Amino acid sequence: MKYSLPNILSLLRVLIAPIIYQMIVSHNQTMIFYALIIFSLGAITDYLDGFFARKWGDTSSFGSFLDPIADKILTNAALLALMSISILDAWMIVIIIARDILMTLLRVYADRVDKPINTSFTAKFKTAIQLIFTIGVLLLLSFDPKFEYLPQWHAVIDYTVWSIVLLTVFTSIEYLIQNKALLVLLSREPKLPGIHTMLATFFGIGFSPFAPGTVASITAVLILLFPITHLQLFLLSCSIFLISFWSIAFLERKHGNDASIIVIDEVLGMWFILSFPTMSHSPLSVLFSLVIFRLFDIVKPFPINIVNKQKGPFWVLADDLLAAILTIFTMFLLSILQIGSNLLFMR
């Protein structure tokens, strides 16, 4: 992965997405105002990363892959938050997110066969409307936390959202028509990814050109955008843990032991961390646990390095599970140090 400024700006949008979500659903006027500022800055980086990449000739396949995904994660996180506080209807959000997921998977396949998809003007226009709409609603909520004046804007909000939904459907059809040759190639693909591949690569994220494990770990955190409890997340993790054995074995037979495209282990590692009963889901706690987990998984200190040398689906999952356990232990120690520090300053 190339840590250039354009790529860092794109990654920044991914990292701030869950923070913005939590701020909006807090129903706190000050937090919503901060969400407005952070979201607006994120929208500005959407322009800046492309500007700097073109100006400095610093374009890359990873940047082309990450930029549109970062846009989708940022805007959809805000739209999900607005749905959670009953401003938008769920079915509208489902259409928007479903389109983004399908287009992202198609982009992943297109990059894999060296036939990248160019973003159309209509799609850019749709994204711009989504950004402006979200900023406008957040601005309104910043000065109307009790929704006293929101009904006056009901018609404007409805018309705008309907426009976004219609543009979403239109751009989906537009992409399919413009890339019909790619669809024909996909239909003839003898190794078309099936259920095993979708699970082991976590819906194609494993095909990320660079740092698929890190991208998968960050994506795993986005499950917190949904109203899920620690117990529900733990049960979901255990279920997928058991099912993924067959998927990992399937991909290892085709791509070798612990192939880089297998990222379900990184996803489950983060989910196990977030499902731990005492683990806070606050933005700062999640960010710290994500960074610590990635450090353990990349550096592989003892005893992770020993587990990592073993072969087989169980061991592919085991080293990330061990990294998750060490992360939980480290977060526990940090919480103790914080409590100790607070007691010391109280004296």
Burial (Cβ within 10 Å: 0-12, 13-18, ≥19) of residue 114: exposed
| pTM as predicted | 0.59
Torsion angle of C-alpha atoms 306, 309, 315, 316, degrees rounded to 10: 120
Contact between residue 182 and residue 115 where contact means Cβ atoms under 8 Å apart? yes
- What CATH number should be reported for the domain whose range is 1-192? 1.20.120.1760
Structure tokens at 278: 């005492």
Q: Which of 322, 206, 338 is nearest to 273 (CA)?
A: 322
- Distance, CA of 134 to CA of 43 (rounded, Å): 10
Token digits for 114? Answer: 């060296």
Boundaries of every domain in the chain: 1-192, 195-347
Query: What is the token pair recorded at 206?
Result: 């494993």
Reading the chain (347 residues) residue by residue, the pLDDT tens digits are 445 666 677 778 877 888 888 888 887 888 888 999 998 888 887 667 666 656 666 555 555 666 777 778 888 888 888 888 888 888 888 888 888 877 877 777 777 677 777 778 888 888 888 888 999 989 888 887 666 767 777 888 888 889 999 999 998 898 888 888 887 776 665 554 567 777 888 877 887 777 888 889 988 988 887 778 898 899 999 999 988 988 898 888 888 888 888 999 999 999 999 999 988 888 888 888 999 999 999 988 888 888 888 888 899 999 999 999 999 999 888 888 765 555 455 55
Enumerate residues 6+ apart whose C-beta is below 8 A from 311. Answer: 257, 258
